[in-house]
Amino acid sequence: EPEVTQTPSHQVTQMGQEVILRCVPISNHLYFYWYRQILGQKVEFLVSFYNNEISEKSEIFDDQFSVERPDGSNFTLKIRSTKLEDSAMYFCASTDRRMNTEAFFGQGTRLTVV
């Protein structure tokens, strides 16, 4: 069964450092997403990506965040200068249509900023 793959599963970084979270969406999917879940809280939408550009982003997705699809398979989330409050589980998801189908989620990357 096809799956979304995220690496690393857990990343610890020092405050102020840049991190790149990597995702390999399902190959025939066209829409990609990043969500985050701060421990014990609800899942929050960060950004959606289609046709090599951002479709939608939330207010959480400020200038410290960026996304990229560098090589047609990977989908990355970069946090330029991490803050303590960026500590969360980050989920990548992809779908083959805009809606009316499930979003397949990766296993998540747990980011810990110290």
Q: Find the binder of other proteins among 7, 13, 76, 107 (CB under 8 A).
A: 107
Which range of residues in 18-26, 36-44, 63-71, 76-84 is near other proteins by CB under 8 A? 36-44
At 90, list the tokens. 């980050």
Q: Assess 76 for contact with other proteins (CB under 8 A).
A: no
* 57 close to 51: Cβ distance less than 8 angstroms: no
The closest of 3, 70, 78 to 46, measured between CA atoms, is: 78
Q: How far is the CB of 3 from other proteins (least distance, A)?
A: 10
Q: Find the binder of other proteins among 50, 66, 76, 78 (CB under 8 A).
A: 50
Q: Find the binder of other proteins among 23, 48, 65, 94 (CB under 8 A).
A: 48
CA atoms within 13 A on the CB side of 72: 1
* 112 close to 13: Cβ distance less than 8 angstroms: yes
Q: Assess 99 for contact with other proteins (CB under 8 A).
A: yes
* 76 close to 20: Cβ distance less than 8 angstroms: yes
Residues that bind other proteins (CB under 8 A): 31, 33, 35, 41-45, 48, 50, 55-56, 58, 89, 91, 93, 98-105, 107-108, 110
